[in-house]
Amino acid sequence: MPSETAKPSYTNNAALGIAQILLWGGSYFILSVLSKPIMQETGWSYQMVYSALSLALLISGLVLPRIGRIIDAYDKNYILKYAGVTMACGLILMGFSRHFVLYLFSWTIIGISMGMGLYDALFASLGKKYGPGTGKVIVQVTLIASLAPSISWYFLSLMLDTYSWRTVCFIYAAMLLLTIFPLYNFVFRQPGNTHSKRPVVRDTLQGSREILKGQLYYLLLVHFTIGAVVTTGIIVHLIDILSDKSMSMTAVIGTVAFLGPSQAGVRVLELLVSRKSSLLSAVISGIAIMAGILLLSTAPIVAISGVIILGMGNGMRSILRGTLPLEIFGQKQYALIISKLARMPLIAQALTPFITGWLIQQFSVSVFLYIFCTLAFINIILCCIIIKQTKKNGIRI
């Protein structure tokens, strides 16, 4: 039987948000600050340095289904607790990396820790802990976590002013060792005497297999994968897109600055406005992303509007990664389902910068935007098909 659902608290959500800021800062965002000194010292190219991040995303996608099964099977959530320890080990190895092979190996470990501790593993754990109340918790946690780029970039830059990039890796690793385990242990503490592992019910396993072979699962998988490709491709090349419109670098940086606040703003709106359906939010998110791309493909005068609308759509999308599968499939086997759904989007996300870079180089920014606008439109159609399929299957949305 599934463990009894708990009641969320603002203290727990704040602790989870802080943990997410630290984990995102030590993985996804760390190269934004450290890449330049790494290249200067080692002589490695931009592509070599950033290929490690793509490798980490790929690794996290490959390990997530296994992580989901572990989270689902055990009452005591030790996967999240040790994410900080694992990431710290990767950063320590990165700090010692004198050869590119060791550098890649360090990012392999960081990739495992990303699978253990970032959104997908967290959403799986929250769904198991809070059940129907998970949606509000996800919105609150992602709202705090949306500060990760600003806080981590500032803090890392501050350290880099005094220390070498290798020392920064060691200091950040020490921070992770001291904070992540206590924070997650506080939130996911287990009362009294509980079994460390729950018995696996045959009917439950059979039910999860049927879900993973069902049409709704594959529709959702394609929807999430296209969404990951579209948002990653546009955000990675956002400066290139704006520069292509003959905007000055000052204007480009000023425009890009609206992305983060718009993502955070839509999460605040999610808290204030009662949502009746995650599927309706998915349609709105899809329309916002497509509208943002369309605006970015037109005149520079509407570039800020395009970035804001795109940011709002992407801010909603990150929440929907957790709430949509829960609404469609329910709490049972949620951890396994959400981790399976995360694999292909993460692999696609890892490959996207290489494919989009080639696309822009071979053709143009305009062709790239037209293709991605088409993909965004396909994703809206997929949402409509998913809504129709849920009604057909008798799922109340």
121 close to 77: Cβ distance less than 8 angstroms: no
Which pLDDT score, from 0 to 100, does residue 373 have? 94
Domains of the chain: 10-187 (1.20.1250.20), 202-392 (1.20.1250.20)
DSSP string, 19-67: HHHHHHHTTTTHHHHHHHHHHHHH---HHHHHHHHHHHHHHHHHHHHHH
Which pLDDT score, from 0 to 100, does residue 212 have? 60
**pTM for this structure?**
0.80
* CA atoms lying within 13 Å on the CB side of residue 269: 11
Question: Residue 95: which region, alpha, beta or left (left: phi > 0; alpha: psi -120 to 50)?
Answer: alpha
Which pLDDT score, from 0 to 100, does residue 246 have? 80
367 close to 294: Cβ distance less than 8 angstroms: no
Which is it for the CA torsion 78, 225, 311, 33, positive or negative?
positive
Q: What angle do CA 211, 391, 266 make, to 5 degrees?
A: 85
Separation of CA 136 from chain center: 17
Nearest one of 225, 223, 228, 234 to 371, comparing CA atoms: 234
Query: Per-residue pLDDT for the chain (397 aa), expressed as one digit of tens each?
Result: 344 556 778 888 899 999 999 999 999 888 888 988 999 999 998 888 888 988 998 999 899 888 888 887 777 777 888 999 999 999 999 999 999 999 999 999 999 999 999 988 898 888 888 877 787 888 888 888 888 877 888 889 899 999 999 999 999 999 999 999 999 988 887 654 444 555 444 444 444 555 665 788 889 999 999 999 999 888 878 878 888 888 877 888 788 778 878 887 887 777 666 556 788 888 989 999 999 999 988 888 888 898 899 988 988 888 888 888 888 887 777 778 888 888 888 888 888 888 888 888 888 888 999 999 999 999 999 999 988 888 776 655 5
Distance in angstroms (rounded) separating the CA atoms of residues 362 and 374 = 19
Residue 232 makes CB contacts below 8 A (sequence gap 6+) with 348, 349, 352, 353
Reduced to 3 states (helix: H, G, I; strand: E, B; else coil), residue 257 is: coil
Tell me how crowded residue 233 is: count the other CB atoms within 10 A of its CB: 25
What does the buried/exposed string (b/e) look like for 340-370 if buried means 16 or more CB atoms within 10 Å of the residue's CB? Answer: bbbbebbbbbbebbeebbebbeeeebeebbe
Distance in angstroms (rounded) separating the CA atoms of residues 340 and 344 = 8
First to last CA, the chain: 25
Distance in angstroms (rounded) separating the CA atoms of residues 116 and 233 = 24
Distance in angstroms (rounded) separating the CA atoms of residues 175 and 84 = 9
Which pLDDT score, from 0 to 100, does residue 68 have? 84
Distance in angstroms (rounded) separating the CA atoms of residues 308 and 286 = 14
Q: Which residue has the tokens 């080639």?
A: 358
